[in-house]
Amino acid sequence: MSRNPIACNSAKGLTQLARSPLSGISVCVVGAGPAGVYTALQCWRKGHNVRILERSPVARTQGDFFMVAPQVINHIKTWPDMAEENDRIAADPRVSLHRNTGERISGPLPFRFDKGADAGAELDPTKRFHFHHRPKFLQMLISQLGRIGVQIEYGCRVAEFHEDADKAGVRLDDGRTIEADVVVAADGIGTKSHTLVSGQDIRAWPSRLAGFRAAFPVEMIAGGDAELSERTKILDDGHPHFQIFNGQGLHMTLMRTEDIITWGMTHKDEGTASESWYESVDPSTVLGYVSTIPTFPSFLRRLIEATPKDGIVDWKIMWRNPQPLTTSPLGRVVQVGDAAHTLLPSSMNGANQALEDAIYLASCLELGGKENVHWATKVHNKLRFERVSCCQKLGFVNLAKRTNRDAKTANTKKTEDMVPEQGRWLWGHNPEMYVCDNFHKALDHLQRGTPFQNTNIPPGYVHEEWAVDELMARVERNEPLNLGGDWS
Ligand SMILES: Cc1cc2nc3c(=O)[nH]c(=O)nc-3n(C[C@H](O)[C@H](O)[C@H](O)COP(=O)(O)OP(=O)(O)OC[C@H]3O[C@@H](n4cnc5c(N)ncnc54)[C@H](O)[C@@H]3O)c2cc1C
């Protein structure tokens, strides 16, 4: 497809950005999280006409760190300004593993996606660990949106999605209606689009697991506490140190960058955790939890004490069974990101799937064209579903890895055994090229029933339906998950 170079405002003056010819397709995106903002960016790039609505009055400024995988980073880097900003703001930590006494077992080592690579070899920058501060990552995407001239419309809370054969629309809670050729529900796990898409409200349910998360300025621990400063310092080679503490009753992570210190702890949800970054718990709640772990290191206790009172979020992990249908009956409303899937413990992939969704959808709309918007959204659904289902299954693989009997004592484990699995099928994927190669085959399959098999899943894996409860029961009984196929 030919591209037009477009001059855009940039920190460095004007940047040449390749934009596809205008498609005439209008896209209204609901939600300005990672899924919504990247959908808006990528749709603009594919020549569509975009607007984006967000219920909050301003962009989110709170949050901790998350891992963004190579298949997504490599795509972000096709935007010249973001390539530079991404490198500047992403941490590339070295990882080490500790017992729940604080004693180090192994590391610090680079995290390698490419496990087949020679351990001593220079780390390939396209396969390195990118650990991003959520608010900075989102702000990077939002700044790029501003540079292409698309402004987020804040304070627009969508109450309802609707469609007819020619248009889709949303009704805002202030009564206004907004229409477009396609409406993208990127409004997160509590999406209002289920009633239209699935015919019923599909709520996620609490997993009984939750995570305390904190991120705060590093000055708040510097100074007085020599042991805490030493245990959280940046390594001599300049890399941040991502530390995992694992053992009976404890899974905790800790890292500091030049300006931020962040820690997280998974715990059983006693019914108090919230689904919002904005609901915080007092450090005494976390101290109460760790008081049940007799070996809990005292410097970590002091870290928790030093965390600002409103600085700890207790995030409830929610589950929803895989949703094979993410497109409305007439194909004009389509869900992406957390609206379309759910967060699983240790999958470390929610944001990655959200951004992949954005890339898939924008390309499908481009290849389908204005007359075929309703088919394009269905092809998007066909191309993504099995892959997303595999990503969700991976959450159980990693949960099992973390909580199996060996991991509970953490005596025999190495750092690599504790770092979540990320198979080549996942990180080695090129989402834009995949859609380009498969759009017409999948369209033929949907329109004429010609055979079609997705290849963006673990080689040899045959998709089958599964449910959260069934896999969780296997993890709890320490039984093999019997996935089939090559997940390495
Ligand atoms: C503790 C934790 C750790 C995680 N770690 C990782 C990780 O390491 N790697 C990774 O890839 N992912 C990780 N994730 C998952 C990742 O954060 C999510 O998958 C990702 O944020 C989803 O993006 P989204 O844009 O779909 O949804 P959200 O980020 O939830 O954004 C939805 C947006 O829609 C807006 N909105 C909601 N309702 C409406 C409405 N009615 N009208 C208008 N706007 C609305 C919201 O205000 C919000 O801005 C983690 C998540 C958690 C909770």
In this prediction, residues 356-368 reach a mean pLDDT of: 98
Residue closest via CA to ligand 1's atom 17 equals 351
| CB 32 near ligand 1, within 6 Å | yes
pLDDT tens track for 25-69? 999 999 999 999 999 999 999 999 999 999 999 887 778 888 899
What pLDDT, on the 0 to 100 scale, is given for residue 96? 92
Centroid of ligand 1 to alpha carbon of 33 (angstroms) = 6
Centroid of ligand 1 to alpha carbon of 77 (angstroms) = 21
| CB 331 near ligand 1, within 6 Å | no
In this prediction, residues 396-412 reach a mean pLDDT of: 60
Catalytic residue among 134, 213, 387, 402: 213
Which atom of ligand 1 is closest in space to residue 157's alpha carbon?
Answer: 42
Which atom of ligand 1 is closest in space to residue 35's alpha carbon?
Answer: 25
**Separation CA 255–CA 260 (nearest Å):** 8
pLDDT tens track for 115-164? 766 666 667 777 788 999 999 999 999 999 999 999 999 999 999 999 99
| CB 208 near ligand 1, within 6 Å | no
What pLDDT, on the 0 to 100 scale, is given for residue 195? 93
Q: Is 134 a catalytic residue?
A: no
What pLDDT, on the 0 to 100 scale, is given for residue 329? 97
Strands 250-256 and 241-247: antiparallel
Which atom of ligand 1 is closest in space to residue 337's alpha carbon?
Answer: 26
